[in-house]
Amino acid sequence: MTSWPRVLMACACAIVAVPASALDVVIKDVRTPASAVTANIEVRDVLPDRFRKMLDDGGMLHLRVEAELWESRPVWDRLVYPAIVRMFQLGRTRSSREISVSDSGGSTQTYPSPPNPLPVAIELGSRGRITASARYYVHVMATLGTLAEKDVADVGDAVFGRESESNGLGALGRRVFRTVIKLSDYLQSVSAEATTKKTPGSYILRP
């Protein structure tokens, strides 16, 4: 017969074994403030403990956020738009210990500590493809991890020319190339995903 002290000790060990933080995704809202359907997403615990040391040692981390809008049907659900991917690069700034977050659109923001949550707004596609009477849901997957930076840079140089030599088209090509990095390109990573409940199109189409 198992004694209560042993049971309590086992429970305590199980609690200690749970990670202090883990990547998480929350889809806050899906609506149409203008001509495009936009998913407002929060990536929480964007820098889990296992990756923090990599950043502290001068490494770079890449966050990939992929969103899909599906129409719910009786037999086969339909993907309304092609999957949209946003890429973010996380690192330490040279002048301080702040966190730098750069996105694939070319903007960079700095934070005194890892942003928690990190808000991400993704435009999924034109509102013209949404029917008020149909029902829809959004699926989002976020992946944080490391990449072979040299390999990515070498392939980009071969296709689009070196960054110092790239014209406007070449620079655009480099950004697009880095945006479509796939999950298989990560050396090590952690992922999280979320799916909204089935929602009427009339709700998504509201301003």
**Maximum C-alpha span of the chain:** 75
Least confident range from 26-30, 85-89, 127-131: namely 85-89
Residue 204: count of CB within 10 angstroms of its CB: 25
Annotate 179-198 with DSSP letters as a single string. HT--GGGEEEEEEEEEEPPP
Residue 132 CA to residue 119 CA, distance in Å, equals: 27
Question: What was the pLDDT predicted at 118?
Answer: 93
Assigned token pair, 15? 């609690």
Compute the mean pLDDT over every residue in the chain, rounded to the nearest whole number: 76
* Residue with more model confidence, 136 or 182: 136
List C-alpha distances in Å: 47 to 9, 146, 180.
Answer: 30, 12, 22
**Cα–chain center distance at 145:** 11
Work out whether the CA dihedral 80, 207, 43, 125 comes out positive or negative: positive
Residue 28 CA to residue 26 CA, distance in Å, equals: 6
**137-162 mean pLDDT:** 63
Question: What was the pLDDT predicted at 186?
Answer: 54
Residue 191 CA to residue 48 CA, distance in Å, equals: 11
183-199 burial string, b = 16+ CB within 10 Å, else e?
Answer: eeebeebbebeeebeeb
Q: State percent of the chain over pLDDT 70.
A: 70
Q: What is the pLDDT of residues 84-117, one digit of tens each?
A: 988 888 888 876 678 889 887 778 888 888 889 9
Least confident range from 10-19, 49-58, 67-76: namely 10-19
